[in-house]
Amino acid sequence: MIGIFDSGVGGISVWKELYALMPNQDFVYVADSSYCPYGRKRTDEIIERAKKISEFLIDRNADIVVVACNTATAAAIEYLRSYFSIPFVGMEPAIKPAAIESKSGIVGVLATAGTFKGSLYLNTLTKFASNVKVIEQAGDGLVELVESGKTYGHEVELLLQKYIDPFIDAGADKLVLGCTHYPFLADAIGKIAKNALTIINPAPSVAVQAQKVIGENNVKPAGNGGSNVFISTGNIETMKMLVHNINPNISEQNFISHNI
């Protein structure tokens, strides 16, 4: 079984890619929506939540855990790997492909403040972005919009305009999405950016990495069509909406509210 967790519903964008690659695996997804957003919490608080949710998933027989949250990856992935014996896959900042593909030499990164402070992001920046100019923008308020089910419309576009326009004005041609909630805003971002920015979503690459790790650890598929269980520590309705937009055939019984 593959366990996945995020501070909320954002990691559904990662589950989507994992499910597309490995539809016969069993997945259990935890949205820690009652503690969302993680970006405003202290590192020790994020580590504690990540540990508790990982224990919950391992108790449900997870063979691997995907930390489908950039902020939790930045704060807790090293701790989780040292504390537990199963493999963990985290979110990789997609700076490398953006830097390689940029024609203007200017790359925008939209992420949470917690992601920007993390050593993983800073190391990636140093290693792969020395030849490009990187413009960073914390997307304050965007996670909350997605958590409330708002992925388009005037309110969404108004806030995005504030964040996207400076990238365009600076001449950026690539936009790295550094939070798993943000792919759900891709259509709205595209509407504002028109053809000025190419969006880089790291979720497909993370799914490929997870598949590789699963193969290396001999995790066998569940069989003919795996199961998908979605658990939320908070409001479950937005998660249902986003999942059903991806796969409308998933039963209502597969969504569970649970205090972790």
| Residues taking part in catalysis | 69, 179
CB atoms within 10 A of CB 100: 11
Q: How far is CA 193 from CA 39, 79, 181, in A?
A: 25, 38, 18
* Structure token digits, residue 210: 């997870």
Q: Which helix (H) or strand (E) holds 199?
A: strand 198-200
Cα separation, 222 vs 157, whole angstroms: 41
Question: Does residue 17 contact residue 204 with C-beta atoms inside 8 Å?
Answer: yes
**Residues of the chain by 3-state class (helix, strand, coil), percent to 5:** 50, 15, 35
Q: How many Cβ atoms sit within 10 Å of the Cβ of residue 131?
A: 9
- Cβ atoms of 109 and 166 closer than 8 Å: no
- Does the CA dihedral 40-45-47-52 come out positive or negative? negative
Q: What is the dihedral of CA 38, 44, 50, 54, to 10 degrees?
A: -170
Q: Which helix (H) or strand (E) holds 147?
A: helix 142-147
